[in-house]
A = this chain, B = another copy of it.
């Protein structure tokens, strides 16, 4: 394996000069630079980034920790992250926690051992412990999609309260009075905020909160299915699903019960499903700018790596209501 010393020898310079050329650090005479570059090329020199990182305390590595890599929302976020990172010369570890705190803690521990420069974290729980562990070791952190308690940390997320409010107001405007909420885990800020938007819209329409219509579960197809089944006896005329996978499960449960949308029950959803999956978009949704979210979060993280003293910022991105034919006025009683 050829090393920086071999290159230096062939170019007739000291190793440190080769290092300066390769990293564009410090001044090198153009003539010298060229000799070094030629020597490196001739020897097919492959820099050992491990040695570089070990010595310089910089790995040029980020990690993206998400809760479900199977969800197109996160896949799209991942593309935004990947594009910005690779453009800046960073590689990205992807970690999938399945909304599991233990898995998350294990990943964070592994990332600390690997000395990643920064982490983009979609937290599986609202505890700030893992974020704190990272910050204590000087790892940059940006929290995605959800908020975390007890630590000062950059956050980039969509506007859950407003998105939920818009969706549910659309239903109340259509005349619905029995609107159910199918939310994610009760402990997550996104669930709470989407529930808050739901409640605000009901109040604005002068409707009472009915606890039998409000369900918390998980952001999965299975949970959406289970919540919808439990709900059917309470005869809602419309449902608000707090994410796309919950909606998918709920729709399956409706179909199994012989119910159609919007004739029997109107459906609105937080999070769109991208193009390839739905050739005919049906669901009324609030679309989050997922790619932009990944991009903005990564840019913020890189910024923070350059300037660690930057004041913490909570960036809330606007969401967009897309009305489609899954909603209609309720059937007359």
Contacts and interface: CB of A to CB of B under 8 A. Distances in A.
Interface string A82-121: 1000100001111110000000000100101111000000
A76 B82 contact: no
10 contacts: A50-B50, A69-B75, A70-B75, A70-B79, A70-B276, A91-B93, A249-B276, A252-B279, A255-B280, A277-B277
A72 interface: yes
Contact of A114 (B78, B91, B277): B91
A3 interface: no
Given A54-B51, A69-B78, A75-B75, A248 B279 contact: yes
A274 interface: yes
A48 interface: yes
Nearest to A279: B251
Interface of A: 46-51, 53-54, 59, 69-72, 75-76, 78-79, 82, 86, 91-96, 107, 110, 112-115, 137, 221, 244-245, 248-249, 251-252, 255, 273-280
A76 B96 CA distance: 12
B79 A96 contact: yes
Contacts of A51: 54
Copies in the complex: 2
A245 B279 CA distance: 10
A274 B49 contact: no
B279 A277 contact: no
Contacts of A93: 91-94
Contacts of A245: 276
Given A94-B78, A96-B79, A70 B72 contact: yes
Contacts of A71: 276
A75 B96 CA distance: 11
A90 to B, nearest CB: 10
A276 B255 contact: no
Contacts of A70: 72, 75-76, 79, 274, 276
A266 to B, nearest CB: 16
A82 B103 CA distance: 12
A330 B274 CA distance: 31
A78 B71 CA distance: 12
Nearest to A57: B50
Contact of A244 (B59, B96, B114, B276): B276
Given A79-B69, A276-B244, A276-B248, A94 B92 contact: yes
A121 to B, nearest CB: 16
A49 B54 CA distance: 9
A70 B73 CA distance: 10
A139 to B, nearest CB: 11
Nearest to A96: B82
B46 A54 contact: no
Given A70-B79, A94-B94, 9 more contacts: A49-B114, A49-B115, A70-B76, A82-B96, A91-B114, A221-B276, A248-B276, A255-B280, A273-B277
